[in-house]
Amino acid sequence: MHGYVTDPDAPGGLRFADDLPEPTPVDDEALIEVRAVAINRGELFLLQLRDRDWRPGQDLAGVVVRPAADGSGPGEGTRVVCIAEGAGWSERIALPTDVVAPLPDEVSFEQAAALPIAGLTALRALRVAGPILGRRVLITGATGGVGQFAIQLALAGGAEVSAQVSAEDRAPLASRLGADPVVTDLDDEGLGPFDLVLDAVGGPVLKAAIGRLAPGGTVATYGNLAGEASLSFRDFAAAPLAKMVGFFHAHPQETRGEDLRTLARMTGDGRLVPQIGSVRSWEELRGTVEAMREREVRGRAVLTVG
């Protein structure tokens, strides 16, 4: 079976192997034929950290070729979206049925593969402070993989959405998705105050975002692209009793499939439009990884398999 493994001696540290073992599903696992995968920024770090022969790949869409033996999950031939712990950049994968969700006909494999980690991060981070109907929400790094979903989901949830982007040329995308205002920094004291901030950027952006919180507001910190932030309680002076939540998309684990189903349904009915920056064959996966490292891909990087 074909698939990617880490190999420090190969170009880009990734080898396209043709001798991987066929997956052998246990009772609660379905066998999926993979049709499209996506790359997440966090996986770029993992590729550098892991040992030789590690099998990457978490976001994928495909078709069930053998349903789970215990009768759970979708039947043979169902088009699905899935989140894996790894080994997703392969022709086939066995996955527990609680991380597999069926796809509406309207959702392509490429759109579906764009959903899992970025979509779950946005959906679940927007829930950390309770209902967002009528609340003011700030999304930082807003034109990234997570950010573009967060803008759309926050608007669908009835929030007033502001966005921070890395540069002026990123602003039109955030505006088109419905964020207003869209800014490149958080210096303007008229911004907010925000009930909820979703922060991908960290560093000075996180520190400034805390200064724009409403009293009792919440910042969900899920990335630190700009490095560590140096914080003290004084940063919270304008927002007494505000909270900072360290957010991880994978929790709670047992409802990932349910949340994937929500993302797929919202994509099917047009409320969520994955912003896909790049679609290539998976034979060009290494070049896509490099393009992501150079910040040349805007939105999700998707690869078709087979």
Asked if residues 161 and 177 have their Cβ atoms less than 8 Å apart, the reply is no
Cis amide linkage into residue 8, ω under 30° from 0: no
| Minimum CB distance to ligand NAP, residue 228 (Å) | 12
Selected range binding ligand NAP among 15-23, 153-161, 197-205, 282-290, rule: CB under 6 A: 197-205
| Minimum CB distance to ligand NAP, residue 298 (Å) | 6
Rounded Cα gap, residues 57 and 83, in angstroms? 9
Residue 47 sits in the site that holds ligand NAP (CB under 6 A): no
Rounded Cα gap, residues 71 and 66, in angstroms? 11
If the CB atoms of residues 161 and 200 are measured against ligand NAP, the closer one turns out to be 200
Per-position DSSP letters for 248-298, written without gaps between them: -TT-SGGGHHHHHHHHHHHHHTTS----EEEEEEGGGHHHHHHHHHTT---
9's CB contacts (< 8 A; 6+ apart) are: none
Helix (H) or strand (E) holding 221: strand 213-221
Selected range binding ligand NAP among 2-10, 27-35, 186-194, 246-254, rule: CB under 6 A: 246-254
Q: Which of 35, 55, 136, 170 binds ligand NAP (CB under 6 A)?
A: 170
Could you tell me how far CA 14 lies from the centroid of its own chain? Answer: 22
Which position's Cβ is nearest ligand NAP?
A: 144
Residue 89 sits in the site that holds ligand NAP (CB under 6 A): no
Alpha helices by DSSP H, listed for the chain, are 41-49, 109-113, 116-125, 145-156, 171-177, 203-210, 256-268, 285-293
Residue 200 sits in the site that holds ligand NAP (CB under 6 A): yes
Q: Which of 4, 109, 194, 222 binds ligand NAP (CB under 6 A)?
A: 222
Q: Pattern 273-302, binding to ligand NAP, x per CB under 6 A?
A: ----------------------x--x----
Q: Which of 3, 147, 257, 274 binds ligand NAP (CB under 6 A)?
A: 147
Which positions touch ligand NAP (CB under 6 A)?
40-42, 117-118, 121, 141, 143-147, 166-167, 170, 200-201, 205, 222-223, 225-226, 247-249, 295, 298
